[in-house]
Amino acid sequence: MPALLTKRIIPCLDVDRGRVVKGVKFFDHIDAGDPVEQAAFYDAEGADELVFYDISASHEGRGIMADLVRRVVEVVSMPLTVGGGIRTLEDATRLIQAGAEKVSLNSAAVKRPELIAEISRAFGTCATVLGVDANRVIEAGHERWEVFINGGRTPTGVLVLDWVRRAVELGAGEIVLNVMNVDGMKQGYDLEMTRAVGSSVTVPVVASGGAGSPQDIAAVLSVGSADAALAASIFHFRTHSVAEVKRHLRDCQIPVRLDA
């Protein structure tokens, strides 16, 4: 059997005013360390990519993020994605010029979808990621999968599968699906929604929200058919290492990179 594109394991670092934090169900945050030190740690552990997500998402925060990316590029040679608070082509340009490989758009793209096309035209679909905060909402006995914005605070009425299809047409080259109902709960990813998003688009899908164990990650990469798995707290609090997760995936016959 020929070698395959490996499934990516991506530690996500939520950053608030220059510090890595980790929240439970989006809102309560506790301090988890220095971003540059964390990046070097995950580089050494064999992480396939890193995501920095600016949860402060203020004007001041964006300046801090560009500076943070510049410092991280000095210590690691691996792909970096930055998200949080990117509202304009100028915001994206600043982060990419600082050394980010990809930028992840979220709320601003829902409010003004053309932003996806603008960034995609300037830097290519490969650099243009759409982050989606999705929620299972039950109303009058009927469930819908709805997109939320502003850090998960605001419902939009937009349906998840409609939105990801539209975003790919506009030029998004990757989807990060974060399912809010399970985020921070460590009970596993939302396999059904991840799988549904994967079969709705032709671009890679990164699963986010809910990782509690290597088994959860194996499930979303196989049953959930995700191309990559993003996780935060299980790595930050050293509950499991990236290498340990990858060895488990290899034992499950899931292609991973172990020669780092």
Residues annotated as catalytic are 14, 133
Cα separation, 207 vs 219, in Å, equals: 11
Residue 3 binds another protein, judged by CB under 8 A: yes
Of residues 82 through 141, those in contact with another protein by CB under 8 A are 93, 96-102, 121-127
Cβ proximity to another protein: between 30 and 223 the closer is: 223
Spatial separation of the C-alpha atoms in residues 160 and 157, rounded to whole Å: 9
Contact (Cβ atoms closer than 8 angstroms) between residue 129 and residue 172: yes
Between 100 and 196, CB nearer to another protein: 100
Q: Does 228 bind another protein (CB under 8 A)?
A: yes
- Residue 35 CA to residue 62 CA, distance in Å, equals 15
* Residue 78 sits in the site that holds another protein (CB under 8 A): yes
Q: Is 259 in the site for another protein (CB under 8 A)?
A: yes
- What are the backbone dihedrals phi and psi of residue 109, each rounded to the nearest 5 degrees, phi first? -70, -30
Within 27-56, the residues that bind another protein by CB under 8 A are 43, 48-49
If the CB atoms of residues 179 and 205 are measured against another protein, the closer one turns out to be 205
Window 177-206: contact mask with another protein (x via CB under 8 A): ---------------------x---xxxx-
Rounded-to-integer distance, Cα 42 and Cα 258, Å: 14
Give the pairing type, strands 19-24 and 28-33.
Answer: antiparallel
- Closer CB to another protein, 74 or 192, in the complex: 74
253 lies in the site for another protein, by CB under 8 A: no
CA dist., res. 175 & res. 204, Å (int): 6
* Residues touching another protein, count (CB under 8 A): 45
Name the pairing type of β-strands 154-159 and 80-83.
Answer: unpaired
Helix %, strand %, coil % of the chain (to 5): 40, 30, 35
Contacts with another protein, residue ranges (CB under 8 A): 2-8, 43, 48-49, 70, 73-74, 76-79, 93, 96-102, 121-127, 173-174, 198, 202-205, 225, 227-228, 257, 259-260
